[in-house]
Amino acid sequence: MKYVTTLIIGAGQAGLAMSKHLADRSIDHVLLERGRVANSWQSERWDSLRLLTPNWQSRLPGFGYDGARPDDYMDMPQVVNYLQTYARATNAPVQEETTVLSVRRTYNGYIVQTDQDSWNCQTLVLATGACNIASVPKIADAIPASIRQLTPLDYKNPGDLEEGGVLVVGASATGVQLAREIRASGHDVTISVGEHIRVPRHYRDRDIKWWMEVTGILGTNYREIDDIKRARKLPSLQLVGSHEGMLDLNSLSNAGVEIVGRVAGLHNDQLQFSGSLANMCAMADLKMNRLLESIDQWVLEHGYSDGAPPHRFEPTAIKNDPVLMMNLKDSGIKTILWATGYRPDYSWLDVPVLDHKGAIRHDGGVVDSPGMYVLGLPFLRTRKSTLIDGVGDDAEYLADHLVASLSRVAA
């Protein structure tokens, strides 16, 4: 049995940011990583994915982008290289190729069993990410076997797909990106749309993420939010890391993608789509316009004079009679791609900290178990908690909390 004060599980941006803050506070610690640094960026993402945030906004504690293209978006090899460079720069004590099998609580800490060795630690940081498992609705179990079902964790590029139609379920960042590239490769594509968040990539000559930062939206603290449960479940923005213009339902429609409502039922091989599509689109347009208004308001209040004048985008156009039913036996659909969100995997965590929906109980990252912390979950402490740019502040706060909890034990 090895001993260390703090174990960090996961060596992605969250684990590395925490490691830097613990090192700055002279807390001895080890990071356990099942693969290599930035493993899920390397092995669990599709080929064309780029970060949704511009390069300049990938700041980590004591580290930032210093390349020649601050306004571009990193592809996955670049993200992996960026995080590996950070790990070296901070001398992060990473033990790679080590899979955690179980975590148990003891009277004064945790025992972490891995496939290499067992560890005893006083404090534990879960930095394993929010996207370990693709969430797929139950209805998937009843889809006829003739249809191939994929999740974004399986999908790499359109070359993986059989000939024939593709139904992409979900219209957040993942769904709209995959619908676009699969359509561009020549497949017939239908996209099923529920609640979504429509935003332009650029507004008034600036990246939307720049606006969201300066107006304080990204930094909003979780304690300022009326309904934090809801805020933590909001879908990702309809964005792609590219300067090619807005990726929304209108641009998908123009590219020949069929837009249908949320998957609502399956009856005799007929997939049924909700009639709520018009309202889903109306809500997204209203929400986008409120965001743009708040930006315009900020510009007025701050006398900011760079950039183009305000403008509004065309409302989302949907057909008068969106398709409500699709017969899976004769519609030509060969593949269903479930872009219906992700969730963390805590199957190895034998500590009773999950609620009845399987989510971890925490208050701003302080888990409901002494000395346990979590990082990198949606709206953990701020709206940017899942961004590379946001995890540093969270790690700093939680590192202080962790140090205080150690000194309480020592006293």
Partner 1 sequence: MTMNTQEMTTPTVNNGVNVEAILGAREALEATPQAAQFKWRAECSWVDGTQSQSTVSGFFGLGEEQSRGKEFTVDADHPEVFAANDMAPTPVEIVLSALASCLTAGVASVAQNRGIQLNSVTAMVEGDMDLQGILGIDSDVRNGFSAIRVTFNIDADASEDDIKALVAQSQKRSAVFDIITNPTNVFVEVG
Residues found near partner 1 in the complex (CB under 8 A): 195, 215-217, 220, 226, 261, 264-265, 267, 272, 274-276, 279, 282-283, 286-287, 289-291, 293-294, 320-321
Least separation in angstroms between CB 224 and partner 1: 8
In angstroms, give the least distance from the CB of 314 to partner 1. Answer: 16
Of 66 and 227, CB closest to partner 1: 227
Minimum distance between the CB of residue 101 and partner 1, rounded to whole angstroms? 33
Judged by beta carbon, residue 63 or residue 211, the one nearer partner 1 is 211
Q: Specify the residue, 195 or 396, whose C-beta has the smaller distance to partner 1.
A: 195
Pairing relationship of beta strands 333-338 and 165-169 according to DSSP bridges: parallel
What are the backbone angles phi and psi of residue 250, rounded to the nearest 5°? -65, -45
Tokens of 51: 């970060």
Residue 215 Cβ, how far from partner 1 at the closest point, in Å?
Answer: 7
Count of all residues that appear for the chain in the document: 411
Question: Which of residues 60 and 295 has its CB atom nearest to partner 1 in the complex?
Answer: 295
Tell how far CA 97 is from the center of its chain.
24
Query: Quick one: 243 or 312, whose CB is closer to partner 1?
Result: 312
Which residue's CB is nearer to partner 1, number 126 or number 199? 199
Least CB distance from residue 185 to partner 1, whole Å?
32
**CB of 239 vs partner 1, minimal distance in Å:** 15
Query: CB of 279: closest distance to partner 1 in angstroms?
Result: 4
Six-digit token string for 339: 């872009």
Angle at 76 between CA 70 and CA 77, to 5 degrees: 90
Least distance from C-beta 15 to partner 1, angstroms?
30
Which of 102, 294 has the CB closer to partner 1?
Answer: 294
Please state the closest distance from residue 25 (CB atom) to partner 1, in A.
Answer: 32
Please say whether the beta carbons of 174 and 199 come within 8 A.
Answer: no
> Which residue lies nearer to partner 1 by CB, 36 or 206?
206
Measured from the CB atom, is 2 or 206 closer to partner 1? 206
**Rounded to the nearest whole angstrom, what is the least distance from the CB of residue 356 to partner 1 in the complex?**
8
CB 38 within 8 A of CB 155: no
Nearer to partner 1, 289 or 405 (CB): 289
The residue (of 140 and 264) whose beta carbon lies closer to partner 1 is 264
Please tell me the distance from the alpha carbon of residue 266 to that of residue 276, in angstroms, as a whole number.
17
What is the nearest approach in angstroms of partner 1 to the Cβ of residue 265? 4
How far apart are alpha carbons 238 and 395 in whole angstroms? Answer: 27
Return the structure tokens found at 244. Answer: 């090619």
